[in-house]
Amino acid sequence: MERARIMIQAAHIIESRREEIAEMEVINNGKSITEARLDVDSARLCLEYFAGLATTLAGQHVQLPAGSFAYTRREPLGVCVGIGAWNYPFQIAAWKSAPALACGNSMVFKPSPVTPVTAVLLAEIYSLAGAPDGLFNVVQGGQETGSLLCRHPDVAKVSFTGSVPTGKKIMEMASQGVKPVTLELGGKSPLIVFQDSDLENAVSGALMANFLSQGQVCSNGTRVFVQRDILPKFVEEVVKRTKAIQIGDPLLESTRMGALVSKPHLDKVLRYVDQAKQQGAAVLCGGEPFMPSDPKLQGGYYMTPCVLGNCTDEMTCVKEEIFGPVMSVLSFETEEEVLRRANNTDLGLAAGVFTKDVTRAHRVVEQLKAGSCFINNYNITPVEVPFGGFKMSGIGRENGQVTIEHYSQLKTVYVEMGNVDSLF
């Protein structure tokens, strides 16, 4: 109950400081204030959810012959390490710490050095809520700091959000101590739009699947497969609405797309667009550096959201995770064909389907090789629902009741009620 009380109090503090935290996240990351508020809300809801689960942790009683019995205990792992990404700094810190603390662990959290600020705010909030010193700790640093944490003999578990190459290294380092890992890695997810879809809804879904957080979202459905009969109308609508996205000062209520996280990352995304053009893709809109009219913002890392047409499965923009506001549109003819193409990737974080045919929706989702699937929506992540991927997109899950298993260990106790039946 004490853990639950502290977590609920922390959630109350987050709610009371919502605007302050959101504004700090905008400065930290560059996303719009509208999105930052939603991230703060997700963090609060996560704490509330796992506070509720903290009081329900229980084992199992197993009756055995002759009155003997066994029971199981769900126990903490100990010191858990969380390593965050720069796209959702505050939210990720909450998503990792809430289940860890609910299970009775402590956590050492290392935010990305690109976005170091708001995880410290969460540490302050836990302290104000009554958490003992050392329960939630923030350590700043880069690759060397992460390596030391993964290899430390007192660390019992590592949870990481980030790229596939870094995830592989973390898994290798943790394996030296046979430590469990949760890895939430990259994606190149398919969004399939069938011809019977509600077109306006499908276009809205494609925008949500590509342009949240300036496109810097691991689960984004950046391969948008559209059935050929509706392709012209879909492209017309998606380009029209993409051009209407308001870019600029992320602290303004009217802004829907802020700045990318850094100059090197902006340059990388723009290079992908140039490469797509060289390989035969058509830039239907966007894909260029953007200069806001406000003089204070003219050094910012802005670009116009991009829609690429005439894409093929062999193009780099279709095969590699760009991690920016770039949507690749592809056409397809049949369900069988699009499933084969959608699954033709080493990644499997997410996938989406738009159709009015409920039978088809469930049939297609069953065959998609992805851990988080959406029907007639995209990028919805309620904290009650597990989130994570298949294949090289990761191991384990964040959120949902199953996460308790990733932050605890099961002890079995056998109780003999009679005499020992010895063979010797």
Active-site residues, by number, are 184, 218
Scan for tokens 């051009």, then name that residue: 243
- What is the pairing mode between strands 347-348 and 69-76? unpaired
Q: What is the C-alpha separation between 167 and 184, in angstroms, rounded?
A: 8
Q: Which residue has the tokens 């949500």?
A: 208
For 5-35, give one letter per residue: b (16+ CB within 10 A) or e: ebbbbbbebbeebbeebbbbbbebbbbbbbb
Please name the residues in contact with 240: beta carbons below 8 A apart, sequence gap of 6 or more: none
Alpha-carbon distances of 272 from 61, 216, 316, 325, rounded to whole Å: 57, 14, 8, 11
40: Cβ contacts below 8 Å, ≥ 6 apart: 14, 18, 21, 22, 25, 90, 91
Query: What percent of the chain is helix, strand and coil (3-state, nearest 5)?
Result: 40, 20, 40
Any idea which residue has 């797309």 for tokens? 257
Helices (H), 223-369: 231-243, 263-278, 316-319, 335-342, 358-367
Cα–chain-centroid distance for residue 420? 52
